[in-house]
């Protein structure tokens, strides 16, 4: 049964007055939500496969499990799937592309040879959709990354190859940002690390700093392009040591005033990233978020509306950090319908932001007056406020299915399109 527009309007009216009693303007919250773009990661659509000539398997200590039928095999299929997902997500968003999703016309174009021209169709597609784009060098799934090191490799020739790839990626990012009139965040993540306990933890980090300095040597116009660096605690095959740790990149980003990328799955399993935002943003210019969900390890499960996600959204809204935070997604699940995965994860991220935007001012007032009993009581009661009715209204007003109605669209796309992909 689909959600009827009459019942949505009715529930919303009740919710609106309930929130008004608490001093919350639901219309203002919805307007604020429309201004928050989420960068959808292309790699959920094809299990981090990319479109290169090599067919090199995924590597770099990240892994996708599952073989749900219908994954995108070509750029056209991936764009069609993204179109479908975007039609089920309220608001204007962005596309986050990895370098190995370039369109190389079946030719061997190695990573150090990529050019903005390999991304023209993506840029045109984003332009037609009124979307900005973000970008990433792909420092994995390549023979020159096979021994687990890239920018911190002991061999200069290998380091130089990856430096050139990252430089090429920044140029592509800048071209995207210029073409689309909104800065592209190009995020450098490398897998470099050791499976077992290293003797020398320092030299690889010195090499990484040197490589990054070379990658970032050319100044690019911040109107078109921003650099981010992503830290990590461990990966599969780099359990004992990751060169680009949190401390490394926190230091590097502060020293060089780069964006720090915080991925929700890149810390100890019970460590959240929410509490890092207010601190990091005192010292780095901006933040890139990789909203993800680790289950026991950095498993990149689809984002759900859990406490960790809500804590991130609360921090961003309460401290007015949204203008300096770029929100991107980073999960990949091949065990369920991939378009549903995008839709669920993105809608949940938006829901968490809406809930944060609807927070009653009484919480902060209780804290200010030193009444921590009231703060806790209000915080817990706020969880029961009718935000779901506001969400449905938000979706309906933007011509996007409310409630669970989007699932019917995914099912129909699955039978009409995905099931035909062998």
Question: Which residues participate in catalysis according to the annotation?
Answer: 189, 230, 232, 263, 266, 290, 298, 300, 330
HSE-CB for 405 with a 13 A CA cutoff: 17
Residue 298 vs residues 54, 108, 291, 422: alpha-carbon distances, Å:
26, 32, 12, 30
Q: How far apart are CA 313 and CA 354, in angstroms?
A: 9
Q: How far apart are CA 402 and CA 14, in angstroms?
A: 17
Minimum CB separation of residue 375 from ligand RNT in Å reads 35
Minimum CB separation of residue 74 from ligand RNT in Å reads 19
Under the binding rule (CB under 5 A), the answer on residue 258 touching Zn ion is: no
Closer CB to Zn ion, 192 or 263, in the complex:
263
Contact indicator for 348, 309 with CB cutoff of 8 Å: yes
Of the ranges 92-100, 283-291, 353-361, 397-405, which one interacts with Zn ion (CB under 5 A)? 283-291
Number of residues that bind Zn ion (CB under 5 A): 3
Closer CB to Zn ion, 44 or 396, in the complex:
44
Q: Helices in 269-386 by DSSP H: which ranges?
A: 274-280, 307-318, 338-357, 362-368, 372-382
Under the binding rule (CB under 6 A), the answer on residue 52 touching ligand RNT is: no
Of the ranges 149-157, 323-331, 369-377, 407-415, which one interacts with Zn ion (CB under 5 A)? 323-331
Residues 180-239 that bind ligand RNT (CB under 6 A): 189, 230, 232
Contact indicator for 265, 296 with CB cutoff of 8 Å: no
Q: How far apart are CA 94 and CA 141, in angstroms?
A: 25
Cβ-Cβ contacts under 8 Å for 295 (sequence gap 6 or more)? 301
Partner from ligand RNT, Zn ion, none binding residue 232, C-beta < 5-8 Å depending on class = ligand RNT
Residues 246-265 that bind ligand RNT (CB under 6 A): 263
Site mask for ligand RNT (CB under 6 A), range 3-42, x = bound: ----------------------------------------
HSE-CB for 171 with a 13 A CA cutoff: 16
Under the binding rule (CB under 6 A), the answer on residue 81 touching ligand RNT is: no
Closer CB to Zn ion, 96 or 343, in the complex:
96
Residues 330-349 that bind ligand RNT (CB under 6 A): 330
Report which of 331, 363, 333 is spatially closest to residue 349, judged by C-alpha positions. Answer: 331
E strand residue ranges, 208-309: 225-230, 241-242, 259-263, 287-291
Task: Give the one residue of 16, 26, 59, 136 binding ligand RNT; rule: CB under 6 A.
Answer: 136
Under the binding rule (CB under 6 A), the answer on residue 48 touching ligand RNT is: yes
Closer CB to Zn ion, 209 or 263, in the complex:
263
In the block, residue with structure tokens 């030193």: 370
Under the binding rule (CB under 6 A), the answer on residue 290 touching ligand RNT is: yes
Residues 324-343 that bind Zn ion (CB under 5 A): 330
Q: Which two tokens stand for residue 418?
A: 């995905």
In the block, residue with structure tokens 């604020």: 32
Minimum CB separation of residue 81 from ligand RNT in Å reads 17
Closer CB to ligand RNT, 230 or 359, in the complex:
230
76 SS3 class:
helix
Q: Which residues bind Zn ion (CB under 5 A)?
A: 263, 290, 330
Q: Which residues bind ligand RNT (CB under 6 A)?
A: 43, 48, 62, 136, 189, 230, 232, 263, 290, 298, 330
């Amino acid at each position: 049964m689909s959600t009827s527009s009459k019942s949505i309007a009715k529930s919303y009216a009740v919710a609106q007055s309930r929130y008004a009693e608490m001093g919350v303007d639901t219309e203002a919250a919805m307007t604020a939500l429309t201004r928050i773009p989420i960068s959808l990661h292309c790699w959920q659509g094809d299990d981090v496969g990319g479109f290169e000539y090599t067919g090199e398997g995924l590597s770099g200590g990240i892994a996708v499990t599952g073989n749900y039928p219908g994954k995108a095999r070509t750029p056209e299929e991936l764009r069609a799937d993204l179109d479908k997902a975007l039609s089920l997500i309220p608001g204007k968003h962005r596309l986050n592309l990895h370098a190995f999703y370039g369109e190389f016309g079946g030719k061997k174009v190695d990573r150090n040879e990529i050019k903005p021209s390999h991304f023209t169709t993506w840029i045109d597609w984003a332009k037609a959709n009124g979307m900005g784009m973000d970008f990433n060098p792909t420092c994995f799934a390549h023979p020159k990354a096979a021994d687990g090191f890239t920018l911190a490799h002991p061999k200069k020739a290998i380091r130089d190859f990856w430096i050139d790839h990252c430089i090429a990626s920044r140029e592509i990012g800048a071209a995207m940002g210029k073409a689309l009139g909104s800065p592209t965040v190009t995020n450098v993540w490398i897998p470099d690390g050791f499976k077992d306990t290293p003797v020398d933890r320092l030299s690889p980090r010195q090499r990484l700093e040197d490589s990054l300095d070379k990658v970032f040597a050319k100044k690019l116009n911040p109107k078109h392009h921003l650099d981010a660096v992503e830290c990590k605690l461990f990966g599969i095959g780099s359990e004992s040591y990751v060169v680009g740790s949190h401390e490394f990149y926190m230091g590097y980003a502060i020293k060089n005033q780069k964006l720090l990328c915080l991925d929700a799955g890149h810390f100890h399993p019970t460590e959240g990233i929410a509490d890092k935002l207010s601190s990091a943003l005192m010292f780095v210019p901006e933040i890139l978020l990789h909203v993800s969900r680790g289950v026991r390890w950095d498993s990149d499960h689809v984002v759900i509306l859990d406490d960790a996600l809500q804590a991130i959204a609360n921090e961003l809204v309460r401290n007015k950090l949204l203008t300096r935070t770029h929100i991107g997604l980073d999960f990949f699940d091949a065990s369920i319908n991939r378009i549903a995965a995008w839709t669920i994860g993105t809608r949940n991220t938006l829901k968490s932001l809406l809930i944060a935007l609807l927070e009653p001012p009484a919480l902060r007032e209780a804290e200010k007056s030193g009444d921590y009993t009231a703060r806790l009581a209000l915080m817990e009661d706020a969880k029961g406020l009718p935000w779901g009715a506001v969400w449905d209204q938000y979706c309906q007003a933007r011509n996007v299915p409310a409630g669970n109605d989007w699932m019917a669209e995914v099912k129909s796309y699955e039978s009409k399109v995905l099931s035909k992909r062998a």
